[in-house]
Each structure stands twice: as structure tokens, then as C-alpha cells.
Structure 1
Amino acid sequence: MPQANTKLQKLIILSLMVALDVVLSPLFRIEGMAPMSSVMNIIGVTLMGPFYGTIMALTCGLLRMLLLGVPPLALTGAVFGAFLAGIGYKYSKNIYVAMLGEIIGTGLIGSLLSYPVMVWFTGSATNMYWFIYTPRFFGGAISGSLIGYLGFMKLEKITKFKRIQTLFKGEELDGYESKRPINE
């Protein structure tokens, strides 16, 4: 039964991160930029890893599209950044690599893929070119990554944050900590 409990805990934490992202992203939005999405991507991938971080970004993008009427830019802007940030952090354990992954994934890859998606979505390529979204996506990704870095530095000092990280890595905490449930 411990495995079912672990899966449930992971889903609960993922749900909380999705809820935070969906609520905070429109509150701290600059037209054409979503820096809070990058903040949540950085914190999400450092907490949950690349798989759950990417699932979080995908789910948040879909929810923002369905509930808030945001165009498909919500997906192209967040998913690639979360994936590259997660892979970068998983293999380097370095927040700077995660930030670089977020900036390249969102600022470059996401912005370039947004052009064909928006041409398809709007049905017109008039007044659009490949780099139309790049400045705003880079601006949002850079500012969001910096804020995410500051948030991560504060969260890293919290024992509960470290315990949740070990839950997503599938590791046991050493000594007394491993005997305590995560919800204590």
C-alpha cells in the first residue's frame, strides 16, 4: 500500500502546483508575456522533476486555454521550457541550467513554434513572421526564471520542500526523516 500512498501524494502535489500556476499566471501577466508561468516551471521542475513538471505545464496551458480564453500560445510557451528546464535540472542539479533550459525552451523554441500554431489558429499569416513572439517570450522567460530562482533559493531552505523532492525522486530520506510521513 505504500506505493499507492506515494502516487496519491505525487498527484496531490502536482494538483496544487497546477492550481497555483493557473491562478497566479493571469494575475502577474504582462501583455504578450507570462513570466509567472516561467516562475512556476522553474519551481515545479526543481520540486517534481521533468516528467511531472512538463505535465504541470501542459495541464496549466490547457486549463488557461479552456477557462481563460488564452490562445494556444499558453501551450507552446510553457511546455518546451518546462521540459528543457526539467531535463537540465535532473542531470545537473544546478538551478542555472534549469533557468537556461526554461529560457531556451520558452524564449526560443516555444516562440518559434508559436508562429505556425498561430497561423493555423487564426487562419492567416498576414502581419506575422517567425520571430513575432520571440522578444516577448524571451522577456517573460528571463524575468520569470529570475523570479523562479529567487523563489527556489528560499524554498530550498525549507525541509518540507526537500522531502517532497525526495518523494518525486523515489528516494528515501536517511535516518529519522524516512520514518515520518510526508504530510507531517
Structure 2
Amino acid sequence: MQKDRLQKMMMLAMMIALDVVLSPLFRIEGMAPMSSVMNVIAGVLLGPFHALVMAFFCGVIRMLLLGIPPLALTGAVFGAFFAGVFYRWTGKIYGSMIGEIIGTGIIGSLLSYPVMVWFTGSQQGMYWLIYTPRFIGATLIGSAAAYFVLTVLKQTTVFRRCQQLFGGVKINE
């Protein structure tokens, strides 16, 4: 029981570290496809709750250390949560990918507008769908990359063991 809890915390910390380190390295201006990669992997590996926790802490760390605006939170948390939920519903990587696209690409992008209006104090040059094309583009790129990573990872014993630890569903494809 205590050992499982410790292993969960270590896996969660490792996923947070990977996301914080990889997201700025493979960043396209206005897009964070590596964040989508990590959200899909976390949704499959950790499940909805722990994926949400991972995305939240990653967003806060990136905001504090890298000066990224609150978009780091509004985009990532919904995508990570829905990636986990859709994966649990379907048991397929595609489910997690669709959850990420809906959560980050649609819900996160639409919620980013009022957050950024509040954050910047200005509506000049901003409209409701300003973030949607970039967020959807990033989620499509990130989800496709996550698919290839997960197809390799699913064959490893360590990945399956970690997935079991978090009560995950085996990948059916």
C-alpha cells in the first residue's frame, strides 16, 4: 500500500519533470505540441485525475520559471483530464487523442480568451477564437507524436506495470 503510493508519486513527479523540460524545447510560437504529447501519455498511463494533477503542476512551474502566460494552465489541464477520461471509456489510444483534442484544442482554447483578457486587461486585437487554430494544431501534432511513442511503450513491461499501478486499462489499439 505504502510502496504503491510512493511509486505513484515518483511516476507523477517524473511525468511532471519530463513535461516541464520537453515543452519549451519543442515549442512552436504560440503552440506547445510536447505538452499534448505528455497529456496523451499521462491520460493513458496515469488516468484522468493524475493526468490533471500533472498538467496543473506543469503549468504552474512553466508559468513561474519560464514566464509563460496562464495559457499553460487553461490549455493543458482540460486536455490531460479528457485524455484520461476518453482513454478509460474506450481503452484505445485514439480515445485519449480525441480527449486531448477536445479538452485542449476546443475547451482550453475557448477558455483562454477570457483568462487572457483578464490577464492583459485589454481586448484589443483579441477575439473568441484567437487561440483555437493554434491549440488545435498543437494537439494534432502532439497527439500524433504521442501515438507513435505509446505504440512503442505499450510493448514494454515497465509501462504495463506502471499502467496497472494507476488502475489503467490495457492498450487495445
For this structure pair, what is the TM-score category when the shorter chain's length is used for normalisation?
over 0.9
Instruction: Give the counterpart of 1:100 among 83, 94, 98.
Output: 98
The answer to whether the 8 A contact 2:44-2:168 is kept is no
Q: Give the SS at the match of 2:61.
A: helix
CA distance in 2 between counterparts of 1:69 and 1:170 reads 34
Letter in 2 for 1:145: S
Instruction: Give the counterpart of 2:3 among 2, 5, 16.
Output: 5
The answer to whether the 8 A contact 2:47-2:168 is kept is no
The answer to whether the 8 A contact 2:56-2:76 is kept is yes
Are 1:91 and 2:89 matched, yes or no? Answer: yes
CA distance in 2 between counterparts of 1:29 and 1:85 reads 21
CA distance in 2 between counterparts of 1:166 and 1:140 reads 29
Are 1:119 and 2:117 matched, yes or no? Answer: yes
Question: Who is 1:134 aligned against?
Answer: 132
CA distance in 1 between counterparts of 2:163 and 2:98 reads 21
Unaligned runs of 5+ in 2: none
CA distance in 2 between counterparts of 1:141 and 1:125 reads 25
Letter in 2 for 1:125: Q
Unaligned runs of 5+ in 1: 172-184
Rg comparison, structure with higher value: 1
Q: CA deviation at 1:91?
A: 1.8
Letter in 2 for 1:162: R
CA distance in 1 between counterparts of 2:43 and 2:101 reads 14
Letter in 2 for 1:98: S
CA distance in 2 between counterparts of 1:152 and 1:83 reads 18
Q: CA deviation at 1:126?
A: 0.8
Task: With the length of structure 2 as denominator, give the TM-score of the two structures.
Answer: 0.96
Question: Who is 2:163 aligned against?
Answer: 165
CA distance in 2 between counterparts of 1:122 and 1:51 reads 30
Deviations 1:94-130, CA, capped at 9 Å, x for gaps: 1111101100111110000000000000001111000
Letter in 1 for 2:12: L
Q: Give the SS at the match of 2:47.
A: helix
Q: CA deviation at 1:170?
A: 8.1
CA distance in 2 between counterparts of 1:143 and 1:76 reads 19
Q: CA RMSD in A?
A: 1.1
Q: Give the SS at the match of 2:155.
A: coil
Letter in 2 for 1:32: G
Q: CA deviation at 1:53?
A: 0.6
Question: Who is 2:22 aligned against?
Answer: 24
Task: With the length of structure 1 as denominator, give the TM-score of the two structures.
Answer: 0.90
Question: Who is 1:178 aligned against?
Answer: none
Q: Could you tell me the percent identity over the aligned residues?
A: 63
Q: CA deviation at 1:79?
A: 0.6
Aligned residues, how many? 169
